[in-house]
Amino acid sequence: MTVRKSHIDAVGASWLIGFSVVLGLNQAMVKVVNEGLAPVFQSGLRSLFALPLVLGFALIMRRTLSVSDGSLPFGIVNGLLFSAEFCLLFLALDYTTVARVSLFFYTMPVWVALGAHFLVPGEQLHRNKVLGLVIAVGGVAMGLSGDLGAAGEDAWIGDLMALVGGMFWAGIALVTRTRLAMCSAEMNLLYQLVVSSIVLLLISPLFGDLVREITPLISLIFAAQVVVVVAVGFLIWFWILSIYPVSNMASFGLLTPIFGVFFGWLIFDDPLTLTFIIAIALVSAGVVLVNKEPKRLPSKLTS
């Protein structure tokens, strides 16, 4: 039986920071693979190829896989949210820069914290959470306020896609926590991979040519996405989601755009400035505040 925790401990923080690094790198990986595969087609193929890996792992580890436990309707809902999220994210990277996508897509923790306030008992917003989210979002904005590269005049289209995609991602976290508690992390991810592979591959011809210019490097990067990001990374994320408070956990997603900027500097030669260093400090402070419970006044002793 899964033991839920009331706060993020050192183990959870370590996994979440590692996952943020992987997601930060993933934005750059998707941008590169978009040169060889059309965005929506790439996203659908990624789900399709990750599906047998996740299924095989679940069977080997004897995880609970069931569609008769009441999870099917909400599993399909999560699959549709997953499809919309990645359709928009991959398309956004065709219109705008990795940095700008990171800024808007990773507003996700804000939507999760707000949604959890109304939907998840015991996860209401309090002073520390509000202040922490404000500081962390301010750090993200500062980190991405410099030279973001040649975004182009249509960048606003990608910005809007990334923003809405982040809202869909928040929806997945909230549905998982409120309606799929009976569902294993593997089953939850399988719902999303099955639905998204069908939906995204079916609609991908609507967005033009499916294949652009495939190279061995692009194929290798795509394979890394399938194995490291989807098959391993998302399983870890859903496992953590089943244990830790959803709003506190999601706040770590604010680290991802900072890592995205770092990998943008490393891969695309984006500048790494003092502003970026300050932004990391602000985001770190915000994460600490979000996970710091407010002081409770001691109850009066009764005689």
pLDDT band at 303 (very low <50, low <70, confident <90, very high): very low
Average pLDDT over residues 231-239: 79
pLDDT at 277 over 90: no
In a domain, 4, yes or no: no
In a domain, 296, yes or no: no
pLDDT of residue 270: 64
Spacing of C-alpha 72 from chain mean position: 22
Q: Is 7 helix (H, G, I), strand (E, B) or coil?
A: coil
In a domain, 24, yes or no: yes
pLDDT band at 207 (very low <50, low <70, confident <90, very high): very high
Bigger pLDDT: 157 vs 296: 157
pLDDT digits (tens, 9 = 90+) for 2-20: 566 767 778 778 888 888 8
Beta strands in the chain (DSSP E): none
Could you tell me the two tokens for 154?
């249509």
pLDDT of residue 146: 58
pLDDT of residue 13: 82
In a domain, 303, yes or no: no
Q: Report the number of distinct structural domains present in the chain.
A: 1
Bigger pLDDT: 216 vs 152: 216
In a domain, 2, yes or no: no
Q: Pseudo-torsion of CA 218, 223, 224, 226, nearest 10°? A: 130
pLDDT at 287 over 80: no
pLDDT digits (tens, 9 = 90+) for 166-201: 999 999 999 998 899 888 888 999 999 999 999 999
Cα torsion 215, 220, 223, 229: sign: negative
With a pLDDT cut of 90, the percent of the chain lying above it is 35
Bigger pLDDT: 223 vs 108: 223
Return the closest-CA partner of residue 148 out of 51, 39, 246, 272.
Answer: 272
pLDDT of residue 153: 73
pLDDT of residue 114: 80
pLDDT of residue 40: 97
In a domain, 162, yes or no: yes
Residue 205, CA atoms < 13 Å, CB-side half-sphere: 2
Burial of 292: CB neighbours in 10 Å, binned 0-12, 13-18, 19+: middle
Output phi, psi for 107, to 5 deg. -75, -5
Per the structure, the complete domain to which residue 59 belongs is given by 10-290
- Beta carbons within 8 Å of 137's beta carbon, 6+ residues apart: 107, 110, 254, 286
The Cα–Cα gap between 29 and 34 comes to 9
The Cα–Cα gap between 281 and 270 comes to 20
Spacing of C-alpha 248 from chain mean position: 14
In a domain, 233, yes or no: yes
Of 17-31, 81-95, 117-131, 267-281, which range is least confident?
267-281
In a domain, 1, yes or no: no
Average pLDDT of the chain? 83
Cα torsion 49, 16, 18, 96: sign: positive
- Amino acid at position 223, single letter: A
Q: Are 279 and 140 in contact (CB under 8 A)?
A: yes
pLDDT digits (tens, 9 = 90+) for 31-86: 999 999 999 999 999 999 999 999 998 898 888 899 999 999 999 999 999 999 99
